[in-house]
Amino acid sequence: MMNLDDAQREKVSEWIKQGLKLSEIQSRLASELGLTMTYMDVRLLVDDLKLVPQDAEPAKTSAADLDEPKAGGIGKPEPTGAKPSPAAAPGRAGAGGVSVQVDQLARPGAVVSGKVTFSDGNSAEWYFDQMGRLGLVPQQPGYRPPGADLQKFQAALESELSRLGL
């Protein structure tokens, strides 16, 4: 991970106090300070600085959501052999939202993995590799999710991983 000087650390602390999300801090580090960092690097940086992001509100998952089967590809076998955990059911984001699911067993070569469904109905598998890099593997070749959905995905993913203690 990159070492920041005192002025840069102060800037990150200021952004946290302003209530910016980790994905927004990641963008600002790149645009304002010229530092390119992965989402996981930013998450670790904030943790190292003993800061707590003031994300809006955590994803709400009711007991009914945990028991409800996933809409869409019901009963399709997972290509990685991973079975989703009932405790890791996707957070419902409402109509047109982004939902994230964490696999009980991570795909080979990944530390943690799962699935995401974007607001346009397209889905992808996501994973964090051993280097902390986030990867997306869309089901439809060449698919690129809308930019707003990517930010929602990162926020939902962070919330879901925090909820699971990961």
**Same domain (yes/no): 24, 69:** no
**Same domain (yes/no): 108, 29:** no
In a domain, 16, yes or no: yes
**Same domain (yes/no): 33, 104:** no
**Same domain (yes/no): 67, 139:** yes
* Torsion sign over Cα 150, 62, 114, 94: negative
- Structural domain that includes position 91: 63-163
In a domain, 123, yes or no: yes
**Same domain (yes/no): 36, 110:** no
Tens place of pLDDT for every residue, the chain, 166 residues? 457 888 888 888 888 888 888 888 888 888 888 888 888 888 888 877 777 766 544 444 444 444 444 443 333 334 444 444 444 444 444 445 889 999 888 888 888 999 999 988 889 999 988 888 888 889 988 888 888 888 889 888 888 888 887 7
In a domain, 1, yes or no: no
**Same domain (yes/no): 134, 78:** yes
**Helix, strand, or coil (residue 42):** helix
In a domain, 85, yes or no: yes
What pLDDT score does 8 carry? Answer: 85
CB-CB contact of 72 with 90 (8 Å): no
In a domain, 54, yes or no: no
**Same domain (yes/no): 39, 71:** no
How many domains does the chain fold into? Answer: 2
**Same domain (yes/no): 67, 37:** no
In a domain, 36, yes or no: yes
What pLDDT score does 49 carry? Answer: 79
In a domain, 53, yes or no: no
Question: What's the pTM?
Answer: 0.45
Distance of alpha carbon 92 from alpha carbon 113, whole angstroms: 18
What pLDDT score does 96 carry? Answer: 56
DSSP line for 51-99: -----S-PPP--HHHHHSPPSSSTTPPPTT---B-GGGPPPP--TT--E
**Same domain (yes/no): 44, 67:** no
Distance of alpha carbon 39 from alpha carbon 154, whole angstroms: 8
